Amino acid sequence: MSIKIRKDDSFGFALSFLDVLSCGLGAAILLLLIVKHGTSLVPVDTQEDVATQEQKLADILDGKLAQQGALEAQLAASSQDIQTAIANKEALASSQDQQLQNLRAQLSLLSSARNDLKNIQEEVTSLQLQREAQFATPTLEVEEEELGQTGQLGGIQIKDDYVVILLDRSASMLDHSLVEIIRLRNSDAYYRNNASKWMTAKRTAIWGFKHIGEGKNFVLLTFSDTVQDLDGT
């Protein structure tokens, strides 16, 4: 009698068991490889290492303290500079206030002096008008009795056929005084034309012109820097 054995009943169970054993053995070997064996060594600082670290910390602390001291010195210097700047600003403001007060005082004095000068100018103008009114002649037409009937001028006969009358029109003919000459020269034309000495010179020239005989040849010239005739040429 023969027995039939099915392949699924014998070989299927054996292969599954071997697989489990292989996986378990591999896991155990892997754990042995991963896990450290023996005692672990923890580094312990020696006394020299501690001293070295203390020295480093002390050096760092000294550096920080030095930086702090430098910063404090800079802060003190900056504070001193600020105080000096404030003092200078206050001194400058005080000086400017004093200068402003001085300028105001000078302006007040200048205004007073201007008023005084204006009053003096008015007085001088009034005196000039009085003086010119005193010496001014209302007209150039002078009567014969005022100029005389001598028929001669300064001892020179004017009855000749040829007569030349010279009239000085320079600034020296304004007055006998140099001060008055300068004053009249800088005055209005009205005062120069009516100056006493100039009026006398013009009256004398007119007197000489009136005493030139009829039909006589004559010329009237005025001179200063240049010489001109009656036509201004």
Tell me: pLDDT of 141 over 80: no
Domain boundaries, the chain: 48-135, 144-228
Average pLDDT over residues 138-165: 55
* Angle made by CA atoms 164, 166, 170, in degrees to the nearest 5: 165
The contacts found for 34-38 with CB under 8 angstroms, 24 or more apart, are none
Phi, psi of 224 (to 5 degrees): -150, -105
Tokens representing residue 110 in the block: 């200048």
Helices marked H in the chain — which ranges? 7-34, 47-135, 144-147, 178-185, 189-193, 196-210
User: Does 233 or 198 have the greater pLDDT score?
Assistant: 198
This prediction's pTM: 0.34
Under 8 Å between Cβ of 200 and 165: no
Task: Specify the amino acid at residue 188.
Answer: D
Helices marked H in 136-233 — which ranges? 144-147, 178-185, 189-193, 196-210
Tell me: pLDDT of 194 over 70: yes
Q: How far apart are CA 222 and CA 226, in angstroms?
A: 8
Give residue-wise pLDDT tens across range 30-63: 888 887 665 555 555 577 777 888 888 888 888 8
